[in-house]
Amino acid sequence: MAQIKINNLSFQYETHGEDIFKNVCINIDTDWKLGLIGRNGRGKTTFLKLLHGEYKYSGQIISPVSFDYFPMTVDDNKDALEVMRESIAPFTKWEKELEIYSNNIEYMKEYGEVLEKFIDHDGYIINEVIEKEVRKMGLETEILNRTFKTLSLGEQTKLLLVALFLKKNNFLLIDEPTNHLDTEGRECVAKYLQKKSGFILVSHDRDFLDKVINHILSINKNNIDIQKGNYSTWQLNNSKRDDFEKSENEKLLKEIKRLQIAAKQKSNWSNKVEATKKGCGPVDRGFIGHKAAKIMKRAKCLEKRQNKAIEEKSKLLKNIEEVEKLKISNIDSTSNKILEVIDLQIIYEKELFNNPVTFKVNPKDRIWIRGKNGCGKSSLIKLLIGEDINYTGYIDKAKNISYVSQDTFYLKGKIEEFFKERGIDEQYLKSSLNKLGFNDTQFEKNIETWSEGQKKKLLIAASLCERAELYIWDEPLNFIDVISRIQIENMILEEQPTIIFVEHDQCFGNKIATKIIDIK
């Protein structure tokens, strides 16, 4: 076991004025399975890239191991096997060099140096090792013969994770690997990661984190904190701490108020007693002065206790996340039927579904559409929102539909341009974003510079602002932080909008769905 030591780490972007990190000091064991959590925009990806050496910073990062970052850029025009080999080490380059050097005695030294590296990285058996690990990830080895770019995003994710874990003496920085994985894919990756160690994992999927990690690093409002355990352990400890601090805060507020009243009374009594020294007739001014001084001393003592209570109070509530309730502009439909689909079949080059799809959506229904990647979930969603897709069957739907897309790549420009284009009330939109963890300075930045989670929150906030009878959300939680996921869950359960959604977060789906449609 070795330690990665981070001392007085500070960083801010040149284009932004605020500190992302300031004087951070933490130690990380290289055999930990560390989950990294925090609200969108807090700097999770930035932290990983600082470790990876992509940004300049002040302070120290002292590590006995090298860092590798996921997702990495690869040449996707090559076969999957070659992409994986190159991701692990330059095996093909070494093989060519060994062939060249072996034919000339003058290059014996160079031959020996390359051969040593080749053997250290299991070069003679690397293809077999890759095949073995690929099977552990739940994939068939035939996939290695296909061109990498023809694979699904889920398949690509699995192969690149395998390649990273086959590298020698490296600590892995894994940034949101679950966004392109269906439920089955997440389960496969979770089982694979359970048997590995030496990584930091950014994920907002609570079930996935619980299965994989043994430590949590949380980027809070005012500090960075490390705890032993999984996400559920962290959430329980965090809730207990928040409840304790809120309770202590209430006690101290009452104590401060009581002390303020008592100190004011003592001060008033002291002044009144002192005033009697100037009264008519003979008075014992020494006695009166002594009595006034004693009362004033008690008032000063009360003030000192009050200041101490204020100081103790100031140490509380710094990391408590203020989570306000979200609102949605759903229209209460007068119809008993919002949507009806009968014997629907989507047709591209061939029929997409194994069996035609039939379902009906009534007011307040929350329909969870599930299925493997590539089964046609997104195609069904796009057809329902009015895209030109060839199909057979019958569709009858409400006119007022609000849609959240899976992708955010098209978002750019200023937020003022966005709400004008969508016809959304500016204050409603910004208020919803504030509740989702935005600060007002974020609105000054171009949308394309926002984190992926912040962009997705913009689409969700826009949908909340739109008056609709039916909300259709395609993987709305990709990149969204855990706190915001819980906010959205609570809003849906309280407001009860009629919604159709595609989502691979099992915890979210199980909490809010009233009906499930499995696409096969």
Query: What is d(CA 28, CA 88) in angstroms, rounded to the nearest whole number?
Result: 24
Q: Residues of 59-80 as b/e, b for ≥16 C-beta within 10 angstroms?
A: beeebeeebbbbbeebeeebeb
Give average pLDDT by consecutive 10-residue segment, the chain, 520 residues: 92 75 94 94 92 94 94 93 96 94 89 94 96 94 95 91 90 91 91 94 95 95 90 92 82 76 62 52 51 60 70 66 88 85 90 91 95 87 93 92 93 95 94 93 92 94 96 94 94 96 94 94
Q: Under a CB-based contact definition with an 8 Å cutoff, are residues 431 and 299 in contact? A: no
Q: Which of 61, 64, 130, 65 is nearest to 91 (CA)?
A: 130
Q: Do 3-93+121-237 and 339-518 show the same overall fold?
A: yes
- Backbone dihedral region for residue 265 (phi beyond 0: left; psi -120 to 50: alpha; all else: beta): alpha
CATH class name, domain 339-518:
alpha beta
Q: Under a CB-based contact definition with an 8 Å cutoff, are residues 137 and 189 in contact? A: yes
Domain positions in the chain: 3-93+121-237, 249-316, 339-518
Q: Which of 258, 250, 243 is nearest to 302 (CA)?
A: 258
- CB neighbours (10 Å) of residue 291? 16
End-to-end CA, the chain: 46
Query: What is d(CA 352, CA 173) in angstroms, rounded to the nearest whole number?
Result: 37
Q: Which amino acid is at 203?
A: S
- CB neighbours (10 Å) of residue 266? 20
Query: Which pLDDT does position 197 carry in this prediction?
Result: 94
Query: What is d(CA 275, CA 454) in angstroms, rounded to the nearest whole number?
Result: 65
Q: How many residues does the chain have?
A: 520
The arrangement of secondary structure in 3-93+121-237, i.e. its CATH architecture, is 3-Layer(aba) Sandwich (3.40)
- List CB contacts of 231: < 8 A, sequence separation 6 or more: 35, 37, 206, 209, 210, 213, 216, 482
Query: Which pLDDT does position 273 carry in this prediction?
Result: 47
Query: CB-based burial of residue 322 (10 Å sphere; 0-12 exposed, 13-18 middle, 19+ buried)?
Result: exposed
Query: Which pLDDT does position 331 carry in this prediction?
Result: 87
Query: What is d(CA 303, CA 263) in angstroms, rounded to the nearest whole number?
Result: 6
